[in-house]
């Protein structure tokens, strides 16, 4: 679709819901909604009736009555469903157009102006907007086909189908979102790096502020706009499920919609899992950066950092721990302390030399590595998710175990450890329960993987 054919992105009427406006011009395709009052709250329906609002359909013009149906309607349940389809299709169409407009803001306004301004390198621009062009092209086609199917010439409530539009683009949809999601972390990091950089003399940071104040961007932050694709994937199953519910069983679109609901739900779940995986990988790197003496082998392509938990030594509350639960091990670290005026306080010393996780990374050390425990070595943990104490008993580590068997001074670690988990912070009880449940679940999963009972499946990879 030629962007020139899309109404002005800042035109407020097109962004209002047709349900809550007395202006029939808000409708992209007003003929879709022959009975917009069906299912409306009574107060809204009364407002419409009192205002004597007229709606136009391809075949007739009618005034809505207290029944919520045109005078010519037989009032049957099937007829009501047919009439109700119009609003859901209209919502799909309007929200798709709004999403496409936002992709256009990113691609045709923000990205283009950054290229023209030359305040950051093309390499950084490619990193920030990776995958946007593919999404724009995909949703350009989807919107084109939706508008064609919903046009005045094409739309017949009893026969028209739109479910097949989504099914037709499934493979392209997956490919486009894989590219985008894979680059999302790099995009966020690049925005942060360029905003903090002195090489562009603060021009990029100023540009971001201008985006937030501009009508061209709908006064929206760039990072917020770049979240829209993830949000949109969760919206499709909801809209299509609503359309399926309103579509009569004998309608030709019924099966297409059902398949589209299942397919788009599966894609939304894959997107969510992929995002979680990316977040867990980022947490793993962060844990290594912030932990002094952390072994470099913490980082590998299979490991994920799932959760973290604050804890103290049950016998000495001054000894504070940070526990990092990974997909195959539990890493135990000490919270770093330093003496200040005879008192102890948390410290985050800057490291001057070395690589990631070691000297010279330029990061700050919050923790000191103590040990890690292979989840396969854990023979028992506490069952009660509400308990404050985390008790772990271990088997004697085997030859292939990741568990650290001895301290740095050569003394063996105990095969039974206890940690008193956080009880003070807001939501501490919920976090303790989540941590214990996740730990027990990961222990089971990891042991099954080691036994060959589970084959790892990485969606979208």
Asked if the structure places residue 92 within a domain, the reply is yes
Q: What pLDDT was estimated at residue 414? A: 79
Q: Rounded to two decimals, what is the model's pTM?
A: 0.67
Percent of the chain with pLDDT over 90: 39
Q: Which residue did the predictor score with more confidence, 56 or 207?
A: 207
Give yes or no for a contact between 259 and 167, defined as CB atoms under 8 angstroms apart.
yes
For 201-250, the pLDDT digits (tens) are 889 999 999 988 888 888 889 999 999 999 999 999 999 999 999 888 88
User: Of 371, 411, 374, nearest to 396 (Cα)?
Assistant: 374
Instruction: Please say which residue of 254, 284, 314 terminates a domain.
Output: 284
Where do we find the tokens 């099966």?
Answer: 255
State the residue range of the domain holding 31: 3-284
**What is the SS3 assignment for 141?**
helix
Q: Cα(75)–Cα(165) distance, rounded to whole angstroms?
A: 31
Averaged pLDDT of the chain: 77
Residue 138 lies in a domain: yes
Q: Which residue has the tokens 């069952």?
A: 383
Residues 221 and 129 in one domain: yes
Same domain membership, residue 151 and residue 102 = yes
Same domain, 345 and 218: no
- Whether 267 and 304 map to the same domain: the answer is no
Last residue of a domain, one of 245, 265, 284: 284
Residue 37 has pLDDT above 60, yes or no: no
- Residue 457 falls inside a structural domain: no
pLDDT score of 375 more than 80: yes
Query: Are 250 and 214 part of one and the same domain?
Result: yes
> Higher pLDDT residue, 182 or 388?
182
**383, pLDDT greater than 50:** yes
Assess if residue 428 is contained within a domain: yes
Looking at the structure, do residues 252 and 370 belong to the same domain, yes or no?
no
CATH code of the domain containing 387: 2.30.29.30
If one counts every other C-beta atom within 10 angstroms of the C-beta of residue 457, the result is 7
In whole angstroms, how far apart are CA 344 and each of 18, 316, 347, 351? 61, 14, 9, 20
For residue 350, tell me if it sits in a domain.
yes
Do 240 and 312 fall into the same domain?
no
What local confidence, expressed as pLDDT, does residue 1 receive? 52
Distance CA(386)–CA(430), nearest Å, equals 8
Q: Are residues 232 and 323 in the same domain?
A: no
- Residue 328 located in a structural domain: yes
Q: Quote the number of domains for the chain.
A: 2
Least trusted range by pLDDT, from 13-22, 80-89, 132-141: 13-22
The per-residue pLDDT for 330 is 92
**Do 439 and 410 have their domain in common?**
yes
Point out the domain boundary residue: 284, 319, 350: 284
CB 403, CB 394: distance < 8 Å: yes
DSSP-assigned states of every residue in 200-216: TTTHHHHHHHHHHH-GG
Number of residues written out for the chain: 461
CATH number at residue 63: 1.20.900.10
Residue 289 lies in a domain: no
315 inside domain: yes
- Mean pLDDT, residues 262-282: 91
Which of 28-32, 65-69, 259-263 has the weakest average pLDDT?
65-69
pLDDT at 40 > cutoff 80? no
Residues 328 and 425 in one domain: yes
Q: Which one is predicted more confidently, 312 or 350? A: 312
Please name which of 225, 219, 190, 186 lies closest in space to residue 204, comparing C-alpha atoms. Answer: 190
């Amino acid at each position: 679709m030629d962007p020139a054919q899309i109404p002005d992105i800042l035109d407020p009427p097109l962004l209002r819901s047709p349900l809550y406006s007395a202006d029939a011009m808000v409708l992209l395709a007003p003929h879709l909604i022959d009975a917009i009052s069906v299912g409306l709250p009574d107060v809204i329906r009364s407002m419409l009736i009192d205002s004597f609002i007229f709606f136009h359909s391809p075949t007739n013009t009618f005034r809505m009555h207290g029944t919520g149906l045109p005078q010519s309607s037989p009032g049957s349940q099937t007829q009501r469903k047919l009439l109700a389809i119009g609003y859901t299709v209209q919502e799909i169409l309007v929200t798709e157009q709004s999403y496409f407009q936002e992709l256009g803001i990113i691609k045709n306004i923000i990205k283009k102006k950054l290229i023209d301004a030359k305040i950051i390198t093309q390499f950084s621009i490619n990193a920030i907007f990776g995958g946007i062009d593919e999404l724009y092209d995909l949703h350009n086609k989807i919107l084109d086909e939706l508008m064609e199917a919903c046009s005045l010439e094409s739309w017949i409530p009893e026969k028209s189908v739109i479910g097949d539009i989504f099914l037709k683009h499934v493979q392209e949809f997956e490919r486009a979102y894989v590219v985008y999601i894979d680059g999302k972390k790099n995009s966020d990091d690049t925005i942060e790096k360029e905003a903090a950089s002195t090489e562009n003399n603060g021009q990029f940071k100023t540009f971001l502020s201008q985006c937030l104040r501009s009508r061209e961007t709908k006064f929206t932050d760039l990072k917020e706009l770049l979240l829209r694709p993830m949000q949109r994937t969760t919206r499709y199953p909801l809209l299509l499920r609503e359309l399926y519910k309103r579509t009569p069983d004998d309608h030709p679109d019924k099966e297409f919609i059902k398949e589209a609901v299942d397919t788009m739900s599966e894609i939304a779940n894959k997107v969510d899992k992929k995002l979680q995986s990316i977040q867990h990988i980022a947490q793993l790197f962060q844990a290594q950066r912030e932990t002094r003496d952390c072994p470099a082998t913490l980082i590998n392509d299979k490991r994920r950092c799932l959760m973290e938990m604050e804890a103290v030594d049950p016998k000495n509350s001054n000894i504070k721990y940070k526990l990092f639960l990974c997909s195959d091990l539990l890493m135990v670290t000490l919270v770093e302390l330093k003496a200040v005026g005879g008192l102890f306080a948390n410290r985050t010393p800057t490291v001057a030399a070395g690589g990631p996780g070691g000297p010279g990374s330029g990061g700050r050390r919050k923790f000191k590595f103590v040990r890690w425990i292979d989840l396969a070595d854990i023979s028992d943990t506490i069952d009660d998710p509400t308990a404050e104490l985390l008790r772990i008993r271990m088997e004697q580590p085997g030859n292939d175990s990741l568990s650290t068997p001895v301290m740095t001074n050569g003394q063996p670690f105990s095969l039974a450890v206890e940690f008193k988990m956080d009880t003070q912070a807001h939501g501490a009880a919920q976090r303790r329960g989540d941590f214990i449940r996740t730990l027990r679940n990961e222990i089971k999963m990891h042991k099954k993987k080691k036994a060959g009972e589970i084959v790892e499946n990485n969606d979208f990879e």
